[in-house]
Amino acid sequence: MRPVNPRGAWTLFVRETQRFMKVKMQTIVAPALTAILYLLIFRYAMGERSVPGLDVDYFSFLIPGLVMMSMLQNAFANTSSSMIVGKVMNVNIYLLMAPLSAIEVVIAFLAAAVLRALVVAVVLLLVLSPFAHLTFSHISLILFYGVCGSVLMGGLGFIGGMWSKKFDDMALINNFVIMPLTFLSGVFYSVTQLPPLWQKINHFNPFFYLIDGFRYGFIGVGDTNPYIALWVVGGSTFICMVACWYLWRIGWKLKD
């Protein structure tokens, strides 16, 4: 049994939390503003129409998607930026020198990422709620998808940060992987509106399940069965966590 260092893990969690709390404008206010802008733009582009295939008005459909998209992006940003700053400024060596097990490091990083995602979600819901009549039909699904999605993205950010050598590498991942996947995941439309081929492709996009399941929790309808997607999402999240743990343990791209 390896010795544990709960105080160390807690300190690391607090450190990772302070990292986003110290720059609230960037990490909380900015995403809220972006979400409002999207909402206004799509409101005028789409009008008051309801979403084809699903019997809901467009705002009630759009808001949960926007909230989830922000959660995913913020969870990813928290771990990946911390890891890459740590690498560039050489402070990651303190994570390696400290008596912290890989499990402790991973839990501290992911917990802080989830906390940031939850803070962003609450702020966004408060800011966006005046625009639509929000319903919360399945709170447990909302929580499951929200937390799982944040853990998954926090984990991907953790791995992406370990992989990156410099800020440019991180920007590469962001622009060529994260952004396309989130935008094509059905935040702004129902996939039933897409041509059949695209619908098929979307079923391989993990973000699609996250956003669809999360939205199902609000509006009670969706493109997939959220109780089946739940296993896909839960399984991917678990695999991602194990990967984080393993890669940290062997010092992947960290120890020469």
Partner 1 sequence: MTGSPASEFALQIRDLHKTYANGKTALQNINLDVPAGAFYALLGPNGAGKSTLINILADIVLPSGGSAMMFGHDVFRDRAWCKRRLGVVPQEVAFDPFFNPREVLKITSGMFGCKPDMAWIDELLGRLELSEHCEKNTRQLSGGMRRRLLVAQALVHKPPLVILDEPTAGVDVELRRRLWDFMRELNAGGTTILLTTHYLEEAEELCDHVTIVDGGKVVADRSMRELMREVAGRYLWLSYGEGFVLSEADMAALSQFQPRSNGKGVCLTLRHATDETSSSFHEAYSAAVARFGPPIDAGVRQEDLEDVFIRLTHDDDKATAGAGT
The CA distance from 74 to 177, in Å, is 15
| Interacting residues with partner 1 between 47 and 86 (CB under 8 A) | 85-86
The CA distance from 145 to 121, in Å, is 12
C-beta separation of 86 from 215 below 8 A: no
Site membership for partner 1, residue 107 (CB under 8 A): no
* Shortest Å distance, C-beta 92 to partner 1: 8
Q: Which is nearer to partner 1, 22 or 49 (CB)?
A: 22
| Interacting residues with partner 1 between 20 and 39 (CB under 8 A) | 22
Q: Out of 45, 57, 77, 100, which residue is the one contacting partner 1 (CB under 8 A)?
A: 100
φ/ψ of residue 50, rounded to 5: -95, 165
According to DSSP H, which parts of 27-90 are helical?
30-46, 58-88
DSSP-assigned letter for residue 57: B
What distance lies between CA 240 and its chain's CA centroid? 13
Instruction: Return the bridge partners of 158, or none.
Output: none
Instruction: Return the bridge partners of 57, or none.
Output: 50
Site membership for partner 1, residue 98 (CB under 8 A): yes
* Shortest Å distance, C-beta 108 to partner 1: 10
* Shortest Å distance, C-beta 70 to partner 1: 22
Site map (CB under 8 A) of partner 1, residues 223-252, x = contact: ----------------------------x-
* Shortest Å distance, C-beta 35 to partner 1: 26
Instruction: Give Cα separations from 16 to 19, 104, 242 (angstroms).
Output: 5, 13, 20
Q: Out of 1, 25, 45, 97, which residue is the one contacting partner 1 (CB under 8 A)?
A: 97
Interface residues with partner 1 (CB under 8 A)?
A: 2-3, 5, 7-8, 10-12, 14-15, 18-19, 22, 85-86, 89-91, 93-101, 251, 255-256
